[in-house]
Structure 1
Amino acid sequence: MGRTGRTALRGLAAVAALCAVAALPGAVAAGPDEPPGYRTAPDAEPVRGATSGAEAPELAPGIYTDRIGPGEERLYAVELDAASTAYLSAMAAPGPGTAVAVRGDGLALRLTTAEGKECDTARVTFAGNGTAYPIGDHTTRRTGGRVDARCRKAGRYLFSVGRVGGEAGGEWPVEIRHMSEPGLTGAAPQPPAGDAGGTEPPEPSAPPGGEVRQADGGSGPNDAAAIRTGAWRDRLRPGETRFYRVPLEWGQRLSAAAELPAARGTYAFVPGALGLQLYNPARGSVVGGNFKPYDGGLTTASLGTPPVDYGNRYGTGADEASVPGWYYLELTLHRDLERFFPDGADVTLRVNVEGEAAEGPEYDGDLRAAGFGTAEDGQAPLGRGRPEQGRPAADARRDGHMLILAWAGIGTGSALLLGLGLWTAVARRGGTGTTGGGRHAAPSR
């Protein structure tokens, strides 16, 4: 086959892949030269938020997906009892390479009663100097502490997700999660002595023996790689974000640090180059906007939490470390780091979980069944993502965007048939050359 025929085949293969991406609800499409995008939960239910409370779709506890454009606000209804703590979260996942403002672009969340009484708000914006990555937070309806009586009642509430900032970037996919923490059988614990929110988290300690293990981070919380105390290494492309999950029980605290190595032979300054952020089991932002600049030397971004304690929710500054479960580290490299690391960078993640697991308060229900546990049933080995997400994230990156065709499954049959049909037609027209074509080359690891 001549050069023209081979070029056409490559172009049609890309068209087929893009068609498959559009038909695949679990993946956020990325450009042909961009890292893979965010993968939503396999059991997420598509929903369309309304512009008025009367038409808002009702969200039972579970996971949902929607899309939101610049300046839009979408409303969802939730029916809450008078005993449980409700968490309503939203995570926006613009594809890698999406245009976002240096500051101001993001999400504004609000939870109100049906009558309009504001119960909680949250706002999260991009902090990576123009690099797009998943951002999110949650709002909470609590029934204890200094909570307005109107927000404690059973009944209908409205959760709104608004897009704030500029007009660039088109629509963003949004993953919405409703979690319900059971009520307690007795009195709620008080904030820890001295208010844990005012304590300074410890610096991560060196891993025992200096061993560094391989971790293949996921595209988001749904396929995040499970890691523990120790040192972990992953290879990221500039502009890429990966997630890792660490289990914390009552009484335990987390400290973590990401190290970007020094580069050789190039000097430049990249603001917001290395980001390390943290989410709690309800997808609430524990540490956000934590980005460090890079000038070619070894650079470290670190974070930490106080010990997990139910009473933290009534303190100041530590309220997002008030439930046990999986905590999610989000690691991001700025796209401009390509001048230093054109083939990707080996980033070391040092993690330290301190403290013995303690007994928590007595719940009037199953806390783990509500999604706040760290049970390993059906989970992947350390350093890898959850098996139910399909092939591990590392395999997805190894095969590049053509892997999306394999993951698309039954839902993308028409796209596959279209792409393969066009491929076959051009192949026949081009003569009797090789028909295998070959897959995209794996990124260097």
Structure 2
Amino acid sequence: MGRRTAWWRAGAWRGRPSARVRMAAAAAVLYTAAIPASWPAEAAPAAGAPGASDPSVSSYAFAEGAQSVTGATGTTDAPRLQVGKTYRSSLAKGAKVYYSFDLDVDSNTYVSATAVPAKGAKLSVTDGIRVSVQNTDSNSCSYQSASFGAAKSPHPVTAWGARTASPANPVCKGAGAYYVVVERVGMADSSPGAWDLELTAMSEPPVDQAGSTNPPKAWNSASPTPVSGAPRTSQGGAGYSRATTVGQGVWRADISPGQTLFYKVPVDWGRQLSATAELGTTSGGGQGYAVEALGMTLYNPVRAHVEDTSVGYDGKQQSLSLAPVPPVEYANRYAVGDQLSGMRFAGSYYLVLHLSKGVADEFGDGPFGLTLRVRLQGTAQDGPGYTGQSVPRNVFQVTDEDRQNAAAGGAGGGNAAMTAVAAAGIGAGTVVLVVLGVWTVVARRRAAGA
């Protein structure tokens, strides 16, 4: 940069450049200067920011542009949120906070809350959050809890709630105000600091014709053989909004103690997802055993929990696999249990992997090799025939872009941000080269004239 600046200041000829050249040069400078302003904050952490200098910790990447909101202590002052948007809030120890939504009469609405404890927070085995959706008569439409497990390792955990316009749930029918309640639970031995929250709400339109309300009775529940082959590098993202898109294949990444990696897998109607994760052998020596060292959780497109699994680690390679889940079908929502009812719509499913901070105590800071094997079985089918669009758009379908990103294995998330920045850089560089070329031609002509 210093050399180029000196060249620009020195000039290649005597005399003043034309107005057109001056305008092109100014445009190039402005174009170049605009690039840093559009750089996503999570794509390039600033020095001193969490995760910027400490490779063993990956801070959660909140959705860019998420609006900050403060939860109320009661329903009267509950801030009104909008379906389709993402919000950022906080949850103090012992707190129970309220938010509100205005819902229509016939859409299904799903709300998720992702709690992010501070780096180094002390947690108890039962520490976690509970999310419920209530109507104006204090009747619960749904509720769910999520905890951090025996490893007591700080990482993002997500719980969800729903208001479904279904005959099976007559309590929460009708349009109007509904309340989302988020509270801390099981916190006897946890540290007092507040947790960050990411809140999302998505709506699913009704279907054109009501089908069977009975879940499928038969499906292939045999454990599939994990995908084999040479792995391709695909580093997971640091949050739902930065999740790395992958499809069927073998994917290689690095993970450090305390780090959480997010992947998303587009799954169409009629297709069946399975996944296996392997933690490689440590190269730094060490002896001991880390309980629940590697955990893997499957969430559906609205970030609702489907299932989770974990495995301990003694320094030797270990693997864990999701229990079989049914092919994606609309009628799965009428089944009992998250593992079946969670596979209720097409879209991007999330595989979230966390390496416990306790691994560092026994085997060092890493990073450790991680292999993710993803398989998709079955043939894609037509959807149930929605009468409208989801909010946000395309949540419950697999787009052509999703398929392309999955085939590329690494598109989306932070990689997409880097691609955009690279494209912007190339564009700016092209403008500068054009300006320099024009300037050189003008200089030569003037020299020839002299």
Q: TM-score interval w.r.t. the shorter chain? A: 0.7 to 0.9
Where in structure 2 are there 5+ consecutive unaligned residues? 1-40, 423-450
User: Which amino acid is 1:244 matched to?
Assistant: Y
**CA contact under 8 A between 2:215 and 2:334: conserved in structure 1?**
no
1:386 paired to 2:413: yes
Give the count of matched residue pairs. 364
1:40 paired to 2:67: no
1:161 paired to 2:188: no
Q: Deviations over 1:233-260 (max 9, x none)?
A: 1001111110111000111111101101
**What displacement does 1:279 show?**
0.8
Q: Distance in 2 between matches of 1:391 and 1:96?
A: 26
- Within a 5 Å distance, the mapping from 1:174-185 to structure 2 comes to 174-185=197-208
Correspondence for 1:116: 138
Question: Which one of 203, 208, 227 corresponds to residue 206 of structure 1?
Answer: 227
1:284 paired to 2:307: no
User: Which amino acid is 1:163 matched to?
Assistant: R
SS in 2 for 1:369: coil
Q: Distance in 1 between matches of 2:224 and 2:265?
A: 16
Correspondence for 1:16: none
SS in 1 for 2:94: coil
SS in 2 for 1:232: strand
User: Which amino acid is 1:277 matched to?
Assistant: T
Where in structure 1 are there 5+ consecutive unaligned residues? 1-19, 396-445
Pick closer, same or farther for the CA change 1:216–1:385 going to 2, 3 Å: farther
Q: Distance in 1 between matches of 2:163 and 2:222?
A: 27
Q: Distance in 1 between matches of 2:416 and 2:249?
A: 25
**CA contact under 8 A between 1:236 and 1:333: conserved in structure 2?**
yes
**What displacement does 1:372 show?**
2.4
1:300 paired to 2:319: yes
**CA contact under 8 A between 2:301 and 2:348: conserved in structure 1?**
yes
Q: Distance in 1 between matches of 2:192 and 2:211?
A: 44
Correspondence for 1:371: 395
**What displacement does 1:280 show?**
0.7
Q: Distance in 2 between matches of 1:253 and 1:43?
A: 33
**What displacement does 1:195 show?**
6.3
User: Which amino acid is 2:372 matched to?
Assistant: L
* Structure with greater Cα Rg: 2
1:324 paired to 2:350: no
Q: Deviations over 1:168-210 (max 9, x none)?
A: 15111100001010011111343343166xx746234223xx1
Q: Distance in 2 between matches of 1:67 and 1:31?
A: 23
Q: Distance in 1 between matches of 2:415 and 2:282?
A: 37
Report the identity percentage. 32
Aligned-residue RMSD, C-alpha: 2.7
Correspondence for 2:435: none
Q: Distance in 2 between matches of 1:316 and 1:216?
A: 34
User: Which amino acid is 1:48 matched to?
Assistant: T
Q: Distance in 2 between matches of 1:126 and 1:370?
A: 31
**CA contact under 8 A between 1:28 and 1:38: conserved in structure 2?**
no
**CA contact under 8 A between 1:28 and 1:94: conserved in structure 2?**
no
**What displacement does 1:165 show?**
2.3
Pick closer, same or farther for the CA change 1:137–1:277 going to 2, 3 Å: same
Q: Distance in 2 between matches of 1:31 and 1:128?
A: 28
Question: Which one of 80, 92, 96 corresponds to residue 73 of structure 1?
Answer: 96
1:217 paired to 2:236: yes
Correspondence for 1:248: 267
SS in 2 for 1:311: helix
**CA contact under 8 A between 2:234 and 2:410: conserved in structure 1?**
yes
**CA contact under 8 A between 1:28 and 1:173: conserved in structure 2?**
no
SS in 2 for 1:313: helix
SS in 2 for 1:107: strand
- Within a 5 Å distance, the mapping from 1:357-368 to structure 2 comes to 357-367=380-390
TM (norm. structure 2) is 0.75
**CA contact under 8 A between 1:238 and 1:344: conserved in structure 2?**
yes
**CA contact under 8 A between 2:151 and 2:358: conserved in structure 1?**
no
**CA contact under 8 A between 1:276 and 1:330: conserved in structure 2?**
yes
**What displacement does 1:281 show?**
0.5
**CA contact under 8 A between 1:145 and 1:314: conserved in structure 2?**
no
Q: Distance in 2 between matches of 1:347 and 1:341?
A: 16
SS in 2 for 1:53: coil
User: Which amino acid is 2:182 matched to?
Assistant: V
Q: Distance in 2 between matches of 1:141 and 1:234?
A: 37
1:342 paired to 2:361: no
Correspondence for 2:74: 52
**What displacement does 1:29 show?**
4.2
Stretch deviating more after TM superposition (382-391 or 183-192):
382-391
- Within a 5 Å distance, the mapping from 1:192-203 to structure 2 comes to 192-194=215-217, 200=221, 202-203=223-224
Pick closer, same or farther for the CA change 1:107–1:291 going to 2, 3 Å: same
Q: Distance in 1 between matches of 2:208 and 2:320?
A: 41
User: Which amino acid is 1:170 matched to?
Assistant: G
SS in 2 for 1:77: strand
Question: Which one of 169, 192, 214 corresponds to residue 147 of structure 1?
Answer: 169
User: Which amino acid is 1:269 matched to?
Assistant: Y
